[in-house]
Amino acid sequence: MSHPHPHTHTHTHHHHTIDPDETLSETEAHEHHAHVTPFWPMLWVFVVLLVLTALTVWTSNIHGFWIGNTHIEFGATPHIIMALIIATVKAVLVAAYFMHLKYDRPMNTVVVGATIFGVVLFIGLTLADMHARSINDSVDMRKIVQGGDTHLGADGQRVRGMGVVARAEENARLKHANNPAHAGDAHTGADGAHSDAPAEKPAEPAKSAPGGH
Amino acid sequence: MTTAASTTRELLPHEAYVPGAHWRNAQDEAEAAKLGMWLFLGTEVLLFAGFFCAYAAFRLWYPDNWHDASRYYLNWKIGFANTVVLLLSSFTIVLAIRGAQTNRKWMTLWTLVITQACAAFFLIVKLGWEYAPKIAKGELPGANFSYDHAQGPYDHIFLSVYWISTATHGFHVFVGMVVIAWAMWKTLKDHYGPRHYTSLENIGLYWHLVDVIWIFLFPLLYLV
């Protein structure tokens, strides 16, 4: 570096003579490199991000509201949706302004779009698969306890469990055996009713499983 | 030196910077490096997508227990404080890049110092106020869960997702501190200026990604 390559000479001459002691103005810097990051828009984005952070905390504590005499309960799902909407707005602000996508060549945004497409496929297909196979509640992770997939045997010793897949099938079988309403439609019955009142119902048949052994 | 006739001193490294011979000009080189960085960030997003997918699947299975565990094991005020410092650090690293673009070395250096302080604050809070008490109480993931006052049968699953996602994120914060320290050294040695600040810009992109991941982790783990 201390002995510049001869090419350096022609390179700098090609642009214009550099006076290194002169501070470049923003327009001059613009000529040399891409868009110069502006101060005030970035400050405003930062302030909006703080406000949105406070907003997401505030909305998480809303448990319901009144319309006239009717109280609308705010369950977990609306909270998740609100939190995800606010987080997405924040992420878009960070990507567009802080990460400069708004000012960049569009190819970087194409990469982001492809990534989001991959994430949506990944999570979306996983959830769709769980839904389609009605395993929303039939794998009972309760029995995967300390030490892995084991349960207490008759002598009080931990013995290896039957494995997650076999257990899922066993739980599904027990669930339908205990509930004649679902006996006919093994694959579609569970999840429609399940999504409204999730935790209590599936726990019942699951509990009986280890006792049966 | 010999580079320019009017020069009264040696050119600083960023002033004398010449792009690789296989590039048409410095801007093409910088844009290509940035595109490569974005591709890397894409793989990072997909890495964390695995944790978000696990979150979604287990939350679908155990919605109530999940909600209770989130409220019981995590203090939203800690998550909120860490969100604020990460947002601040994102803003200051933006100003660091502006400092390089407008040839203000000390602006770059001091905003990087603030960024670094925010990152350190984040990790100290995470390790000291979250991880250490959790380890002491046995609020550990999966099979290591040994906490005496479990709130529900699936607490250990919530904690598995909590630990793997926040620890991976925390490791990214640590890596961020290392590369930001390197950027501070490069700034001190006058490697960043209006004509060249590519690696500073890419470090900024990485740091913003760490921020974006936390923007999603905070409400999902601490709030809902």
CA B139 – CA B20 distance, rounded (Å)? 52
Element holding A110 (H helix, E strand)? helix A107-132
Same domain, A106 and A155: no
Same domain, A104 and A63: yes
Question: Residue A103: inside a domain, yes or no?
Answer: yes
Question: Between these two residues, B105 and A152, which has the higher pLDDT value?
Answer: B105
Domain count, chain B: 1
Domain boundary among A109, A132, A155: A132
Q: Which residues of chain B have pLDDT under 50?
A: 1
- Residue from A36, A49, A196 to probe the interface with B (highest B Cβ count within 10 Å): A49
Query: Is residue B216 within 8 angstroms of chain A, CB to CB?
Result: yes
Among the ranges given (A45-49, A202-206, B47-51, B186-190), the one the predictor scored with the smallest mean pLDDT: A202-206
Give buried/exposed letters for A32-47 (b at 16+ CB in 10 A, else e). Answer: bbbebbeeeebeebbe
pLDDT of residue A3: 47
Which residues of chain B are within 8 Å of residue A146 when distances are taken between CB atoms?
143-146, 156
Please report, as a single letter, which amino acid is at residue B102. Answer: T
Same domain, A43 and A60: yes
Same domain, A126 and A43: yes
Indicate yes or no: CB of B95 within 8 angstroms of CB of A39.
yes
CA A100 – CA B222 distance, rounded (Å)? 29
Which residues of chain B are within 8 Å of residue A80 when distances are taken between CB atoms?
220, 224
Question: Residue B3: inside a domain, yes or no?
Answer: no
Whether complex ipTM tops 0.95: no
Indicate yes or no: CB of A18 within 8 angstroms of CB of B4.
yes
CA B222 – CA B41 distance, rounded (Å)? 25
Please report, as a single letter, which amino acid is at residue A158. Answer: R
Question: Residue A55: inside a domain, yes or no?
Answer: yes
Q: Between A50, A84, A99, which is nearest B208 by CB?
A: A99
Indicate yes or no: CB of A83 within 8 angstroms of CB of B76.
no
- Residue from A39, A57, A79, A101 to probe the interface with B (highest B Cβ count within 10 Å): A57
CA B167 – CA B126 distance, rounded (Å)? 9
Question: Residue B13: inside a domain, yes or no?
Answer: no
- List the single residue in A with minimal CA-CA distance to B7: A19
CA B187 – CA B111 distance, rounded (Å)? 11
Question: Between these two residues, A199 and B93, which has the higher pLDDT value?
Answer: B93
CA A123 – CA B124 distance, rounded (Å)? 32
Domain count, chain A: 2
Checking if the pLDDT of A148 tops 70, the result is no
Distance from CA of A67 to the nearest CA of B (A): 23
Same domain, A145 and A127: no
Indicate yes or no: CB of A91 within 8 angstroms of CB of B31.
no
Question: Residue B15: inside a domain, yes or no?
Answer: no
Q: Band of the pLDDT at A141, cuts 50, 70, 90?
A: very low
CA B110 – CA B188 distance, rounded (Å)? 11
Q: Please list, in sequence order, all residues whose beta carbon lies within 8 angstroms of the beta carbon of residue A107, skipping any fewer than 6 positions away.
A: B35
Question: Residue B16: inside a domain, yes or no?
Answer: no
pLDDT of residue A15: 45
Which residue range forms the structural domain that includes residue B132? 26-223
Q: Between B26, B42, B101, which is nearest A115 by CB?
A: B42
CA B203 – CA B175 distance, rounded (Å)? 10
Same domain, A87 and A106: yes
CA B26 – CA A15 distance, rounded (Å)? 12
Same domain, A149 and A181: yes
- List the single residue in A with minimal CA-CA distance to B36: A108
Q: Please list, in sequence order, all residues whose beta carbon lies within 8 angstroms of the beta carbon of residue B125, skipping any fewer than 6 positions away.
A: B78, B81, B82
pLDDT of residue A62: 85
C-beta of residue A129 within 8 angstroms of C-beta of residue A182: no
The token duo for A176 is 């339908």
Across residues A59-78, what is the average pLDDT?
84
Query: Is residue B62 within 8 angstroms of chain A, CB to CB?
Result: yes
Question: Residue A173: inside a domain, yes or no?
Answer: yes
Question: Between these two residues, B161 and A11, which has the higher pLDDT value?
Answer: B161
Same domain, A165 and A110: no
Tally C-beta pairs within 8 A across A and B: 215
Same domain, A61 and A109: yes
- Could you tell me the pTM of the whole model? 0.76
Indicate yes or no: CB of A141 within 8 angstroms of CB of B63.
no
Which residue range forms the structural domain that includes residue A113? 39-132
C-beta of residue A137 within 8 angstroms of C-beta of residue A189: no
Percent of chain B predicted with pLDDT > 90 = 74
Indicate yes or no: CB of B7 within 8 angstroms of CB of A141.
no
Q: Band of the pLDDT at A61, cuts 50, 70, 90?
A: confident
Q: Between B18, B144, B211, which is nearest A94 by CB?
A: B211
Residues 6-45 in B contacting A (C-alpha not used; CB under 8 Å): 6-9, 11-13, 15-16, 18, 21, 26-27, 30-31, 34-35, 38-39, 41-42, 45
Query: ∠ CA(A113), CA(A116), CA(A135), 5° rounding?
Result: 155
Question: Residue B212: inside a domain, yes or no?
Answer: yes
The token duo for B183 is 């950027």
Which residues of chain A are within 8 Å of residue B212 when distances are taken between CB atoms?
90-91, 94-95
Same domain, A148 and A118: no
CA B83 – CA A6 distance, rounded (Å)? 50
Distance from CA of B220 to the nearest CA of A (A): 7
Question: Residue A25: inside a domain, yes or no?
Answer: no
Residue B177 sits in a domain whose CATH number is: 1.20.120.80
Same domain, A101 and A155: no
Same domain, A83 and A63: yes
Which residues of chain B are within 8 Å of residue A4 when distances are taken between CB atoms?
1-3, 16
- Under DSSP, is residue A40 helix (H, G, I), strand (E, B) or coil? helix
Would you say how long chain B is, in residues?
A: 224
Domain boundary among A101, A132, A163: A132
Across residues A100-104, what is the average pLDDT?
93
Which residues of chain A are within 8 Å of residue B95 when distances are taken between CB atoms?
37, 39, 42
